[in-house]
Structure 1
Amino acid sequence: MTAAAPSRPVAVSVFERANPLAKLLALLPVTVVLVASMDWVSSGIVLLAAVALLPLSGIRTGEFLRRAWLLVAAALASAWGTALVGEDSGRVLLAAGPLDVTEGSVLAGAATGLRILAVALPGVMVFITTDPTDLADALAQRLRLPARFVLGSLAAFRMLAVLTDEWRTLGQARRARGVGTGGNPVRRTASWLGQAFGLLVQAIRRATRLAVTMEARGFGAGERTWARESRFTPLDGAVVAAGFALAALAAGLALGTGAWNLVWS
């Protein structure tokens, strides 16, 4: 018999090594800037930074697009809708019946689309590179949140993948019985609603069993010990500092170019 080749260590990206709370703290000032101003400069800066930092996250481009394509589609739809119904200003670029697309409405649409992407895509990066157990450890040990709440949230987070598999299984079972395989849009919608109701029933049953099991094992009762300590390292400090620096850069460039536009002004 030949000896088995030693397994190679799995490469861990910079973002995966960072503490989950550090990543959330880094997102906080960036999100505040994006929510406060409706302009394309600050959103564009944050979006460019997210794309530039994508290699540090260890996420493949294909996987990232597979996770974020719906957000991209929503941003494009919002941008186009804003360009059609936004406030008209400047030169008319397109006249579509009662709707006019002007330079001002196009800029407003671009700002809306970029804003959605700039808020959502960094969140997707954090979501992909964060282990739910590490996040639960950080919330309980660093923020001192109640163990019952933290562990319940962790269980719900872990169940997302299970519910995805159950949705696929329910769809295959219904197709095997000839349900939802064709018909007009009304019948397809009714079939989809029936499948969604079945998934809701399965989720409630699974959540009930999980709650009873966790209660029987003493989750949330008294002081708990943790198998892994949640620590803050110099890398976490650098991540938080980078988040504040990016927020300051985006706000500063937006103010300097005159594009800064407070949403409540």
Structure 2
Amino acid sequence: MTLAPDQARTSTMARVNPVAKLAATMVLTVPLVLTLDVVSAGAALFVELLLMPWAGLRWGEFWRRTWLVWALAPLTGVTIALYGRTSGQVYVEWLAVRVSDGSLELALATTLRVLAIALPSVVLFASVDPTDLADGLSQIWRLPARFVLGALAGLRMVGLFLDDWRALELARRARGVADRGRLRRFLGMAFALLVLSIRRGAKLATAMEARGFGAPGPRTWARISRFGGREWALIAVGAGIAAVAVAAALAAGTWNFILGPG
């Protein structure tokens, strides 16, 4: 991939409606949640990695955004390996820890499933603008506009909260009240930020009501959220990956319906 730093935001994938990305993720995730086996998760992950070059991210940006997923997925597998269902030969047994063939297989399946579910979610939403997502949820999925716009306004405040936290920390250091007692300082700053966020939320709600965000009846939109061929194609890709995973598991005889009896 040779995309320029800003091309991830202007690539074809970035222009796909965010609700289509959400729908594709859901279509892909459902079959992987219903089963826990190595073949289905491995097949889905393999196809996803083959398609990653068309996601609109440079490989460097891909690793920066997904390194936490790669780091935490094996930790999930380790937990399953130590405390998962015991079957087959037991290799290690100490107190509640039992490492066996069954637990190791479940650990590998869990690790692959976490990667197969989390990686496309992170990559697809890397270039999503919150305003575009809110427009799509209200105009296409017909969710209540008041709820969607309120959530969007709250999301926009996250950056301000971070700035407020840094400002509180610098102010306390300047007054000499942040030199010791880390726990006490943290609790004090958290309470101050809570009070500040409540006040800001009340002012924001009043301002939005004054501008007609809570008015009854149909509302107009500054930007029209469109859903066309690119969006359906992305959902079809997600459904195709899910179908490949299910077919591979059924063909190998490893399908393990976790909601079934036993």
Residue of structure 2 equivalent to 1:4: none
The CA deviation string for residues 25-48 of structure 1, in whole angstroms up to 9 with x for no partner, is 211221111111112222223333
Tell me the SS of whatever aligns to 1:45. Answer: helix
Q: Structure 2 regions of 5+ residues with no counterpart?
A: none
Among 129, 153, 156, the residue aligned to 1:155: 153
Q: TM-score, normalised by structure 2?
A: 0.83
Tell me the SS of whatever aligns to 2:99. Answer: strand
> What's the offset of the Cα at 1:106?
1.0
Tell me the SS of whatever aligns to 2:245. Answer: helix
Q: TM-score, normalised by structure 1?
A: 0.83
8 Å contact kept, 1:42–1:251 = yes
Residue of structure 1 equivalent to 2:99: 101
Tell me the SS of whatever aligns to 1:129. Answer: coil
Letter in 2 for 1:227: A
Which range moves more in the overlay, 133-142 or 162-171? 162-171
- 1:4-15 aligned at under 5 Å gives the runs 11=7, 12-15=10-13
Distance 2:195 2:45 in 1: 39
8 Å contact kept, 1:134–1:230 = yes
Please say if 1:58 is aligned against 2:52: no
Tell me the SS of whatever aligns to 2:125. Answer: helix
Distance 2:193 2:100 in 1: 46
> What's the offset of the Cα at 1:177?
5.4
> What's the offset of the Cα at 1:66?
4.0
> What's the offset of the Cα at 1:190?
4.8
Among 214, 224, 228, the residue aligned to 2:208: 214
8 Å contact kept, 2:80–2:107 = yes
Among 196, 212, 227, the residue aligned to 2:222: 227
Distance 2:197 2:17 in 1: 30
Distance 1:52 1:204 in 2: 46
> What's the offset of the Cα at 1:189?
4.7
8 Å contact kept, 2:21–2:125 = no
Distance 2:118 2:47 in 1: 13
Distance 1:87 1:239 in 2: 37
Structure 1 residues 169, 102: closer, same or farther in 2, change over 3 A? farther
The CA deviation string for residues 198-243 of structure 1, in whole angstroms up to 9 with x for no partner, is 3333322222221111011111314322222111222111101111
Residue of structure 2 equivalent to 1:135: 133
- 1:120-131 aligned at under 5 Å gives the runs 120-131=118-129
Q: Structure 1 regions of 5+ residues with no counterpart?
A: 1-7
Structure 1 residues 98, 141: closer, same or farther in 2, change over 3 A? closer
Residue of structure 1 equivalent to 2:19: 21
RMSD of equivalent CA atoms? 2.7
Letter in 2 for 1:235: R
Distance 2:83 2:5 in 1: 54
- 1:83-102 aligned at under 5 Å gives the runs 83-96=81-94, 99-102=97-100
Distance 1:180 1:91 in 2: 56
Q: How many residue pairs end up in the alignment?
A: 254
